[in-house]
């Protein structure tokens, strides 16, 4: 038998959700069975799967030792020398300017040099993240940006901030704005485009339809032309929905692919322009809270904006 004391970052979640994080390889059905068979007790008593944990609860686990071995952390971030460009930081969140070329989470190509590992390493060195004091929580990203796209990424330092930011992104109370350069001159200088996006996982690509399709999800993209020259346009884009490759595929579908984007754009034109990555940058966040944000209420109305985006500065000069 092992006992776990519920920490602040574990509280206010269901016991089954906590156990899924704690025992990463245990099947969900087995977790439910352990709860039903009283192999999991809280404060010495049997609980239901929907029991919400409270700070300082004692969880007793009558579970085979082999499952505990799987919970050991590799702590890769401890060998990473942190290198991040911080835009804003407080006790709850941190905003990072992610550079093109860096992956945000470990994938099949990169396990160590990732944005989340740099953030964890940074907070570990500041003694703000001490994994030995946590049961399941680790600093987490609230939004993702493609490897070859740059821009502002939000990371949460605690579980409550993570929950709130995720809710506010879902309810569109955190507005995200991008700068991009596209081929061609748009007929309408401002607009809102609504279509449907279909993923093809085998190609790691998405397709756009102007009518509902099986498996398709509605996408809404707003844009404003900032400048035009040499048959190219600099746009500010606001994501109303946030789907995979939305800006890249959506603009390409109306005949204006991003400069530097070989997946959805014109490879020959991109080669002639000499862009290493697609000209796309998440440059501004607006915390447009319309409902209570709990411990993050102080962010209401705040705007965080990158003053310089390389390709945009060059285009405007």
Quick count: other Cβ atoms within 10 Å of Cβ 70? 11
Active site residue 146: yes
Q: Where are the beta strands (DSSP E) in the chain?
A: 2-5, 40-42, 45-46, 58-61, 86-89, 93-98, 140-141, 150-156, 174-183, 190-200, 205-209, 217-229, 232-239, 280-287, 303-305
Report whether 97 contacts 282 (CB < 8 A): no
Question: Which one of the listed residues 16, 146, 195, 261 is annotated catalytic?
Answer: 146
Task: Give alpha helix (H) positions in the chain.
Answer: 15-22, 28-36, 65-69, 115-125, 159-170, 246-253, 267-273, 310-316
Report whether 138 contacts 120 (CB < 8 A): yes
DSSP character for 128? S
- Give every CB contact of residue 256 below 8 A, 6+ residues apart in sequence: 182, 183, 184, 186, 233
Supply the residues annotated as catalytic: 146
């Amino acid at each position: 038998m092992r006992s776990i004391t519920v920490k602040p970052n574990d509280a206010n979640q269901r016991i089954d959700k906590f156990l899924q994080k704690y025992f990463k390889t245990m099947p969900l059905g087995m977790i439910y069975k352990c709860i039903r068979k009283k192999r999991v007790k809280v404060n010495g008593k049997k609980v239901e799967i929907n029991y919400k944990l409270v700070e300082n609860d004692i969880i007793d686990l009558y579970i085979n030792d082999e499952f505990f071995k799987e919970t050991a952390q590799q702590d890769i971030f401890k060998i990473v020398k942190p290198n991040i460009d911080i835009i804003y930081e407080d006790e709850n969140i941190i905003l990072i300017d992610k550079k093109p070329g860096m992956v945000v989470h470990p994938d099949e190509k990169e396990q160590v040099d990732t944005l989340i590992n740099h953030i964890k390493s940074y907070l570990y060195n500041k003694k703000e993240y001490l994994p030995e004091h946590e049961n399941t929580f680790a600093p987490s990203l609230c939004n993702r940006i493609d490897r070859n796209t740059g821009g502002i990424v939000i990371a949460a330092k605690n579980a409550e901030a993570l929950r709130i930011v995720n809710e506010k992104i879902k309810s569109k109370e955190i507005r995200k704005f991008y700068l991009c350069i596209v081929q061609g001159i748009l007929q309408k200088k401002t607009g809102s485009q609504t279509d449907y996006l279909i993923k093809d996982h085998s190609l790691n690509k998405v397709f756009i339809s102007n009518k509902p399709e099986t498996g398709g999800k509605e996408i809404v993209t707003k844009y404003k032309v900032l400048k035009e020259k040499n048959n190219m346009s600099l746009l500010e884009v606001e994501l109303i929905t946030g789907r995979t490759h939305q800006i890249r595929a959506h603009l390409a579908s109306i005949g204006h692919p991003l400069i530097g984007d070989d997946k959805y754009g014109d490879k020959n034109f991109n080669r002639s322009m000499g862009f290493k990555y697609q000209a796309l940058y998440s440059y501004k966040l607006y915390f447009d809270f319309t409902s209570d944000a709990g411990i993050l209420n102080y962010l209401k109305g705040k705007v965080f904006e990158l003053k310089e985006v390389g390709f945009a500065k060059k285009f405007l000069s």
